[in-house]
Each structure stands twice: as structure tokens, then as C-alpha cells.
Amino acid sequence: MTRHHYDPSELDRQDSELDSVAERLEGYASATRTEPPIGLVDRIMAAIDEEPAPRSAWWTRVAAWRRPDQGLAAAAVVIAAITGALAVGELVDQARQRNVGSSPSPRVEASPSVAPSMTPSPTLAPSPSESASPTVGPSPPGPTVSPTPEDASTPAPTATDDDDDEIETPEPSESEHDNSGPGGGGDDDD
Amino acid sequence: MSTGMWPATWHDEGVDDGALIAAMRSGDRQAFGLLVERETRAVYHACLRILGRPQDAEDVTQESFVAAYRAIGTFRGDGSLRGWLLRIATRQSYRRLAQRRPSQDLDSVPEPRLADASGEPTQLLVAAEARESVRRAVAALADPYREVVAMRFFADLSLAEVAEATGRPLNTVKTHLRRGLERLRPTLGDSESGR
């Protein structure tokens, strides 16, 4: 084994003090050159024998292909996978466009949000009569009933309007997704 | 160094890293055995210079080879196999050093088989203390200066090999070495040689 002796020109700068530090490190290294004990290689190999076979990374497997037909086959598989993925994406896009163009009614999938908002509407019916009652007479059940119908009555008339809004709101949100997709280049830090 | 235990297909001389790496990746333990025979001395020296104790150096040498065996599949082959292996050994050694309890350092005994043993007990003691001060000073450096100084002087790698093994540009490695030496100057740059 050849030693790489320190050369002051290594640092591209003349500095006698740094050279003295380097020489001291070199002196230490040359003084510490004890031979490894006999049997160390066997000990290491015994430890290696207990290890499972190493797993190679994917790039090394790719680089290990020596026969050109293997490489071509792998390339064909990769190309087929990419084309298939693109075709599936195209079909999905077409299906979406058909659904959007033909009937907006499928967007009634927002109906779960409509259902809870419709529930206050039955309470809306009694609310005018109930809310009028406390102003007219100091009947005991009046005050307890009136706050809830008043609160419930405010969302109730807007419930149908909200339904329309909910149908339209997904469009801006989709455009946001479109903007975030190609703009997600976070590799600029490199 | 003669192999002795390997068949004629493998020889110490003339087997390039590429063939060795390909064989090791395919699970050829004999190829890894050749690497062990070829590099045990260098790895052991690097570990001993960092750790100062032969027993620790043996353990860490073995650990380094086992770690290299496990990771051989991820070796990209950008630099030399030796540089890659010695970087693993350097890191493992400093990891071991960090795991030592402070009381163990106080019990540290001078190495019994050093080349500069002149016979005088006081001189031996002074030399042992000087070596200990070098080890401690380098170990106290922050990374990446410690890594570069250790790989350059304790693992006997050239700056180009250090650059390849660490994946850093050569000029960056030079800068790291220079700054590392500058940080060592207060403790090692005095007129006291201790050698």
C-alpha cells in the first residue's frame, strides 16, 4: 500500500504553520502502522458468512444488464408501461369531459351536504308562529322555543342557494389544482 | 499480499474494482473475501489511528466490512472501492468514539506495539500522550473538516480520492482540509512535536 505523503502544494497556498500541523499528523500516522492481528481476515469473513446476500439497488441492476436483448426487453416494458398509463389517463379525461358536458346533475353528489341543510326546513315552518308568540304573550315555553327557530331560520332560506353555490365552487378549486401541479417545482433549491 | 485462500480466478493484482464490484453484487462471497484480504490492513490502520486502541480497531474494522457488504448494492462506483470503504471505516470509527464513556478515555493505555518505542518509559509516556493529543484534537473537529482530515491523514487517501469518496468537488475538499488544519493549529501547530 502506497502512502500519500503530504505535499505543501496540496492546499494551493503556502502556510508554514499549516504545514507543521500537517507534518505532525503525518508523523502520527506513520508511527501508528501496527499490522493487523493474524486471524482478523478470518474473523471478518466469518461475520460476512452470517450475513444474507446483499440486495442491489435498482440502478445497479439496470447497469448490470450486459446482453443487449435484455436491455431492449426492459426498455420495451418501460415504454409499454408509460404508453399504457398515458392511454388510461386520456380515457379518464374523456370520460370526465363527457360527464361534465352531458349533465351537470351528476354533481348532485354534493347532496349529502344538502340533506343536513334541509333538515332545518321543517323547523322553519313553525318558526314564524313560534317566534311571534313570545312577543305577543309571556307564555313560559315561548322564550325557550324562539331562539332555536330564529337561528335555524337564517340558514334555511339560503339552503337552496348554497346548493347552487356548491355546484359551482368545485370549478375554481379544480383550477387551483391545475395551477399547483406544474408549479410544484420544489427542486430549485438545488 | 498473497491471497492463498482464493482460487486462481481471483488474484490480488490485476483485479480491477469494476470486476470485483460486479462479482460482489451478484453475491460472490469470494470476491468480497478478496476485498477483505486486500483492504483489511488499510482499514485497520485508519481505525487504529482514530481510535487508538487495537481491540477497538479490530472490532470497527470488522463492522466496517460488514456495513460495506450490506451496502455494496448501493455503491455507485463514482470513486474507488477503497475510498468508499475507508469512508465507511472513518465514520464507523468516530461513531464508536462517540459511544465511549468519558471514564474509558481516562483509562486509555498507550499502545504496546508502536513503531517509535525507544525503550525509555518516560519517552514512551510522552509519545503516548502526544498521540492521544493528536487523536483528540482531530476528533474534536466539526464535520466536514474532521472527515476530510481523517481521510487524508489517517486513512492515507489522496485529496482526489477523498473528493471521489465524498462526492464533493476537489476544491471544496481542499478548502475543508485547509480549514481543518487551521482549526488544529492552536493544539498541534506549536513547536512541541511530541514525536
Tell me the residue type at A80.
A
Average pLDDT score over residue span B70-78 = 84
Nearest to A33 among B65, B115, B131 (CB): B115
Average pLDDT score over residue span B177-192 = 83
Instruction: Check: CB of residue A54 under 8 Å from CB of residue B72.
Output: yes
In a domain, B7, yes or no: no
Interface test with B, best of A45, A50, A61 (most B CBs within 10 A): A45
Predicted pLDDT at B20: 83
Instruction: Check: CB of residue B66 under 8 Å from CB of residue A51.
Output: yes
Angstroms from B47 CA to nearest CA on chain A: 10
Predicted pLDDT at A65: 55
Nearest to A55 among B49, B73, B130 (CB): B73
Residue B25's domain comprises 17-101+111-188
Rounded to whole angstroms, the Cα distance separating B170 from B147 reads 14
Predicted pLDDT at A18: 87
Domain CATH code at residue B89: 1.10.1740.10
Nearest to B36 among A29, A44, A64 (CB): A44
Q: How far is CA A14 from CA A17, A95, A118, B182, in A?
A: 9, 72, 85, 13
Nearest to A21 among B42, B135, B185 (CB): B185
List, for residues A90-137, the tens digit of each pLDDT value: 888 888 888 765 554 444 444 444 444 444 444 444 444 444 444 444
- CB spacing of A41 vs B42 below 8 angstroms: no
pTM: 0.60
- CB spacing of A43 vs B69 below 8 angstroms: no
Judged by average pLDDT, the poorest of A15-19, A116-120, B66-70 is: A116-120
Neighbours of B3 (CB within 10 A): 18
Record the cell numbers describing residue A158, joined without a space: 339560503
Three-state DSSP class for residue A170: helix
Q: What is the mean pLDDT of chain A?
A: 62
Query: Is it the case that residue B91 has pLDDT exceeding 80?
Result: yes
Tell me the pLDDT band of A61, cut-offs 50, 70 and 90: low
Rounded to whole angstroms, the Cα distance separating A117 from A51 reads 64
Q: How far is CA B79 from CA A15, A36, A108, B17, B37, in A?
A: 30, 25, 62, 10, 20
Q: Percent of chain B at pLDDT above 70?
A: 79
Query: Is it the case that residue A78 has pLDDT exceeding 70?
Result: yes
Q: Closest chain B residue to A11 measured between Cα atoms?
A: B174
Please identify which residue in the block is written with the cell numbers 383550477: A175
Is A66 in CB contact (< 8 Å) with chain B? no
Rounded to whole angstroms, the Cα distance separating A25 from B148 reads 13
Query: Is it the case that residue B4 has pLDDT exceeding 50?
Result: no
Average pLDDT score over residue span B98-106 = 66
In a domain, B163, yes or no: yes
List, for residues B18-56, the tens digit of each pLDDT value: 888 888 888 888 889 999 999 999 999 999 999 999 999
Tell me the pLDDT band of B149, cut-offs 50, 70 and 90: very high
Predicted pLDDT at A77: 83
In a domain, B8, yes or no: no
- CB spacing of B157 vs A4 below 8 angstroms: yes
Rounded to whole angstroms, the Cα distance separating A93 from A51 reads 50
Domains of chain A, by residue range, sit at 65-94, 119-161
Instruction: Check: CB of residue B50 under 8 Å from CB of residue B29.
Output: no
Average pLDDT score over residue span A163-182 = 38
Q: What is the mean pLDDT of chain B?
A: 82
Residue A4 sits at φ, ψ, to 5 deg, of: -95, 95
Which stretches within chain B are classed as H helix? 17-25, 29-51, 54-71, 81-99, 102-106, 121-139, 145-149, 159-166, 170-188
- CB spacing of B37 vs A48 below 8 angstroms: no
Predicted pLDDT at A41: 94
In a domain, B2, yes or no: no
Tell me the pLDDT band of B78, cut-offs 50, 70 and 90: confident
Predicted pLDDT at B86: 95
Chain A residues with CB inside 8 Å of B115's CB? 30-34
Burial group, residue B6, by CB count within 10 angstroms (0-12, 13-18, 19+): middle
Nearest to A18 among B113, B138, B185 (CB): B185
Tell me the pLDDT band of B188, cut-offs 50, 70 and 90: confident
Question: How many structural domains is chain B composed of?
Answer: 1
Q: How far is CA B89 from CA B18, B24, B61, in A?
A: 21, 19, 7
Neighbours of A39 (CB within 10 A): 10
Please give the interface size between A and B, counted as residue pairs whose CB atoms are below 8 Å apart. Answer: 150
Q: Closest chain A residue to B44 measured between Cα atoms?
A: A36
Is B85 in CB contact (< 8 Å) with chain A? no
Average pLDDT score over residue span B77-97 = 92
Average pLDDT score over residue span B4-19 = 55
Tell me the pLDDT band of B132, cut-offs 50, 70 and 90: confident
Where does residue A124 fall: left (phi above 0), alpha (psi -120 to 50 degrees), or beta otherwise?
alpha
- CB spacing of A28 vs B178 below 8 angstroms: no
Is A58 in CB contact (< 8 Å) with chain B? no
Q: Percent of chain A at pLDDT above 70?
A: 42
Is B121 in CB contact (< 8 Å) with chain A? no
Burial group, residue B106, by CB count within 10 angstroms (0-12, 13-18, 19+): exposed
